[in-house]
Chain A
Amino acid sequence: QLRLQESGPGLVKPSETLSLTCSLSGDSINSGSYYWGWIRQPPGKGLEWIGSIFYNGNTYYNPSLKSRVTISLDTSRTYFSLKLNSVTATDTSVYYCARRHITAAFDVWGQGTTVIISS
């Protein structure tokens, strides 16, 4: 059974780069049946899709974040990563990684990791 786990620093300074990793257990990213994505949720607010990556490395980003986001796939295909540069306090959120079937919705989610942007 697939499980996803986010990891990374919980505190990032303004203007720096937020870096997170999503580790897979129980599967690997080698199927054309799924997209692998990042979604975030500011405190007390709703969900925002950040971007997704396909098994072949193709990436798709939210236009509102596109200039600052990079999602990449590790060669082991057992984890994928998120980088968000030039962060500000508005990037403070719980960050989730998730899997989406190509014909359906996000069916497997990580537990989420809180990232606070503060000096």
Chain B
Amino acid sequence: EIVLTQSPATLSVSLGERVALSCTASQSVSSNLAWYQQKPGQAPRLLIYGPSIRATGVPARFSGSGSGTEFTLIISSLQSEDLATYYCQQYNHWAMYTFGQGTKLEIK
């Protein structure tokens, strides 16, 4: 099983700040990694896949990069509506998908 490790678990941030979230895979997942945003009481929302392709309707302040085992999600200027938990997910193996444990963004 491919394990995804996200760091940090919680990140205290300020509005307008540039935020970088990390996701490390225990083995290569090539470019088959996605990022999701989840707000309390809501389903996850796909933000980024491939791992730099923004999903439909996702603001340009969200960007993704990486390949192999190291991936990063960047929020260029944090807005209040971005306060949420972010999960990475690998889909490199068509029959076994795994998620990271999530990074929660909170106001500093």
Chain A interface (Cβ < 8 Å from any Cβ of B): 35, 37, 46-49, 52, 60, 62-63, 96, 100, 102, 104-107, 109-112
Contacts and interface: CB of A to CB of B under 8 A. Distances in A.
Contacts of B95: 60
A73 B45 CA distance: 24
Interface of B: 1, 34, 36, 42-46, 49-50, 53, 55, 87, 89, 91, 94-102
7 contacts: A46-B100, A49-B98, A52-B97, A60-B95, A109-B43, A109-B45, A110-B43
B51 to A, nearest CB: 9
B101 A46 contact: yes
A46 B34 contact: no
Given A104-B50, A105-B34, A60 B43 contact: no
B43 A96 contact: yes
A109 B98 CA distance: 16
B96 A60 contact: yes
Contacts of B96: 49, 60, 62-63
Contact of B87 (A35, A46, A104): A46
A100 B1 CA distance: 20
B73 to A, nearest CB: 13
Given A104-B49, A105-B34, A107-B46, A47 B94 contact: no
A112 B44 CA distance: 10
Contacts of A49: 96-99
B1 A106 contact: no
A109 B95 CA distance: 19
